[in-house]
Structure 1
């Protein structure tokens, strides 16, 4: 049913002066419409790594460049020690521990020092420094040194394992559970650990999260993990040094050396097979590669498959990706409308260069979008947050989806009262015009 012609004609007659008044005020006062918002990894193994699980991550951005079965909880063996390293370094940073602090070896580390895997033959009652023990853990994967540090930090092995699990949860490691501080097979640790089926597990993704926090939160870890060879000092009952060669054969001068490799941690048990969490840097890009469950290779180098898989991951990353500045610091990405200011808009700029990883030859696959703060009122100060920027990429983030703040590129003082008054009048007529037009469209 149509409305009477007289009503439609009256509405049109009312709309015409409103349109003219609104347009005139808009031109006079410089009002603008509201700002409008601008707008692979998989479960397959195309690299044919031949491992149970793998992931490749760029450190700074946290982009996952390659993933295979990365969510499955698997035994991490001595890669467990990355969490012990993280907690010891955190204690040092917080001043709770010093590198030259003495550590008296307890019953449990002494037990591990007698016959439990890689060790530096610690004896109950002897004293070592935090630095000596940490070097033995990071370079030689010494189980006894790891246990001694755990007891030093938390008072007992049980308390330290609880701290490990609490920290894993806080870091977002959702497929991880720790039973020991070192990763040695739990069933072989009686009477200290009961063989009740509870095991250390960690997914490749969680190992990458942990490695990323080690590198970003405690970058001094590399001064230890990059050591190729070191000697563990003699003890009270042992007069000879122990020659320690790093188990990570990706390091310079070792059998499977990879250019730029300088950490982090290997692992092996019969159940876990051969594992490695490795990092390498070339130019301005650092990658993290995790390999879990590599089968033993025939011959004299049974661990080579994990290092060959790490090579393949690193080659894929360095050859196919690069870091790129997507939005330079201080360069406007657009304008944000300002109400009641001496200017009607303010440039939105990144406070720092926005850098992310792009696939070489397909840089257009990665782009930035942004949104503004709604109803931004003057005064606006330079550096004040006025919006958020987001990087859209086909490569997911290892952790979270953070928005990047955009800030005002200049000051916008509050306008004088008369300008604010006439702006309000202009808004009134503009709203009346939109209402009238809406009614006409429904007529």
Structure 2
């Protein structure tokens, strides 16, 4: 009797238990990878192939990931000889005041101090030092207001979308003590979609890979051996020796503000393959943002990229397609010319989906006359393209809006036939047409 009573109590309580658990369903439970973020993306760092994305086109706060743009412009200015690593910056009221705010990530700067650009850059790349970032911006452009113009121009040049820059550091303007750049709001903050952040990181690594020599440093002493010495621990806790260490991580930039939440642009290598991951406003299963949450989300993306994807060669260089190995040639010494793929087509794809990709050949009709090329035909002339097409499911494409493919080119040259050959060919064609007409007529009689 007691057993039956217990059973019925359990049955009656079950709906109540279900109702109480509905409110504790983890945030973002529908995420395919189980990560809890407002936006995320994973790309192959070599080709820019997008391997995974979640809400990657929505503009969100980027916080100190902004500093990747400042670093890009710094490397560019160094390369162009506009400034040098040994050049010295003299602290002003703005950078002094910001550097003394220890609520923010900073290395304290002396009011009467001078610092080399290399010192300031290392403080930016390792410790995300905000006043040092402003100092770099002022060195390049004179003022941070003018530096914003460079940031916007470079963003447009790189093809970034839906970005808004209001300062060089990624802080909320309210943290800049009323000295924020002219023309920006007192509560403004930098925003960008995950896809644009990934594209910025992609271009930074391609154009200035030396940035990794600094971002991989986990700890460094600023002004070592002086009374201003301060220990700089990298905020990237996935680096070797830190609590969320992940093998192969060597960059790139964290970001945290109340508006942006916990963000991270990370990059790692394994077995010669490098990926870039971006997570924005990461939280845990209970919706609470933390350093751990952003690194857990990044770890999930890294694991997914390294375990599920591989580079596959779909078309080798020189490959000829069965349906179109040759093109006809009009008025040439030869009647046909062979065509083939100029370069191999390789792409990072999910290993389990590699059979879903097929090469699609397209001949450029504008190069043809009556379906054939006209002599003379040069060797290696581009006559079409071949690109990979996924037969089912979603393909996210490339970060730079390109596609996997190559040109179709001629494998040899065809000279134009001489006048005598052309005349004899025309005569032959004339009599052939008469013969064909006559035989057709005779066949018609019977």
TM (norm. structure 2) is: 0.79
Contact kept in structure 1, 2:51 and 2:349, CA below 8 Å: no
| Partner-residue secondary structure (3-state), 1:407 | strand
- The aligned counterpart of 2:249 is 261
| Partner-residue secondary structure (3-state), 1:176 | coil
Contact kept in structure 1, 2:282 and 2:290, CA below 8 Å: no
Q: How much does 1:313 deviate?
A: 0.7
| Partner-residue secondary structure (3-state), 1:115 | coil
Over 3 Å counting, the alpha-carbon distance change for 1:56 and 1:102 in structure 2 is same
Looking at structure 1, the residues matched to 388 and 140 of structure 2 have their Cα atoms a distance apart, in angstroms, of 40
Contact kept in structure 1, 2:36 and 2:284, CA below 8 Å: no
- The aligned counterpart of 1:396 is 397
Q: How much does 1:291 deviate?
A: 0.5
Q: How is 1:47-66 mapped onto 2 (pairs within 5 angstroms)?
A: 47-66=33-52
| Partner-residue secondary structure (3-state), 2:231 | strand
- The aligned counterpart of 1:339 is 330
Over 3 Å counting, the alpha-carbon distance change for 1:370 and 1:114 in structure 2 is same
| Partner-residue secondary structure (3-state), 2:152 | helix
- The aligned counterpart of 1:244 is 232
- The aligned counterpart of 1:140 is 127
Q: Tell me whether 46-55 or 162-171 shows the greater mean CA deviation.
A: 162-171
- The aligned counterpart of 1:113 is 99
Structure 1 alignment gaps of length 5 or more:
1-42, 438-443
- The aligned counterpart of 2:115 is 128
- The aligned counterpart of 1:192 is 179
Q: How is 1:37-436 mapped onto 2 (pairs within 5 angstroms)?
A: 45-115=31-101, 117-193=104-180, 195-233=185-223, 239-295=227-283, 302-333=290-321, 334-373=325-364, 374-375=367-368, 376-393=373-390, 394-402=395-403, 404-421=406-423
Q: How much does 1:87 deviate?
A: 1.0
Looking at structure 2, the residues matched to 71 and 134 of structure 1 have their Cα atoms a distance apart, in angstroms, of 30
Over 3 Å counting, the alpha-carbon distance change for 1:426 and 1:146 in structure 2 is farther
Contact kept in structure 1, 2:310 and 2:349, CA below 8 Å: yes
| Partner-residue secondary structure (3-state), 2:266 | strand
Q: How much does 1:350 deviate?
A: 4.1
CA displacement 1:394-428 (0-9 Å, x = unmatched): 23222223563333333333333344456667889
Contact kept in structure 2, 1:274 and 1:296, CA below 8 Å: no
How many residue pairs are counted as aligned between the two chains? 389
| Partner-residue secondary structure (3-state), 1:404 | strand
TM (norm. structure 1) is: 0.79
Over 3 Å counting, the alpha-carbon distance change for 1:244 and 1:196 in structure 2 is closer
| Partner-residue secondary structure (3-state), 1:109 | helix
